[in-house]
């Protein structure tokens, strides 16, 4: 009896996982792409592509706006970054750090403040609704539009 084929271990270094992902896409891990990756890892909270560009240029001056916009889908595709569309003229991003997989966002309609909320019920709900219709869930999101307490206070005064 032949020994079972051993599956390669995924890279333990997140940057190596990103390099492996982009190599699968037929791309190289250039200094500029890796600077965008490192900038995303350094940013906390929600950020825009412009904020990512500024941070990436702190790491590697030659990073262009086009490089950031071409690298963001790669970061999203490999699971390093989550894209959050709040229905405005720009998209927000959030670097994944191994937290809960199912989260909802509370989005302030006035100042665009985003609050992440754990939402473990979403896994059950997504699977149940999809199964009822003979489907398999691929992704899901829950956003609640609201007005934050700071904006409420400003409106009241």
- Report helix, strand or coil for 20: helix
Dist. CA 84–CA 43, nearest whole Å: 15
Please state which of the ranges 3-7, 19-23, 32-36, 62-66 shows the lowest mean pLDDT. Answer: 3-7
pTM: 0.72
Dist. CA 92–CA 84, nearest whole Å: 5
Residue 74: name the closest of 42, 30, 111, 112 by CA: 30
Cβ atoms of 45 and 105 within 8 Å: the answer is: no
pLDDT at 1: 44
Q: Does the pLDDT of residue 81 top 80, yes or no?
A: yes
Residues 6 or more apart whose CB falls under 8 angstroms from that of 27 comprise 33, 74
For the chain, the domains span 13-98, 100-157
Assign domain 13-98 to its CATH architecture.
Orthogonal Bundle (1.10)
Q: For 17-53, how does the pLDDT look when each residue is reduced to its tens digit (9 = 90+)?
A: 899 999 999 999 999 999 999 999 999 989 999 999 9
The domain 100-157 is classified under which CATH number: 3.30.1490.190, 3.40.50.2300, 1.10.275.10, 3.40.50.300? 3.30.1490.190
The mean per-residue pLDDT over the stretch 101-109 comes to: 80
Q: Does the pLDDT of residue 9 top 90, yes or no?
A: no
Cβ atoms of 49 and 55 within 8 Å: the answer is: no
């Amino acid at each position: 009896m032949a020994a079972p084929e051993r599956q390669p271990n995924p890279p333990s270094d997140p940057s190596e996982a990103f390099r492996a992902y982009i190599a699968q896409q037929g791309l190289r891990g250039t200094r500029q792409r890796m600077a965008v990756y490192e900038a995303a890892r350094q940013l906390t909270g929600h950020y825009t592509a412009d904020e990512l560009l500024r941070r990436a240029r702190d790491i590697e001056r030659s990073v262009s706006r086009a490089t950031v916009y071409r690298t963001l889908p790669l970061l999203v595709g490999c699971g390093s970054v989550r894209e959050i569309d709040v229905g405005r003229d720009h998209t927000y991003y959030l670097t994944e750090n191994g937290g809960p997989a199912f989260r909802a966002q509370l989005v302030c309609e006035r100042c665009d403040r985003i609050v992440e909320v754990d939402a473990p019920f979403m896994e059950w709900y997504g699977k149940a609704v999809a199964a009822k219709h003979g489907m398999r869930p691929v992704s899901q999101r829950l956003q609640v539009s609201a007005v934050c307490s700071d904006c409420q206070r400003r409106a009241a005064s």
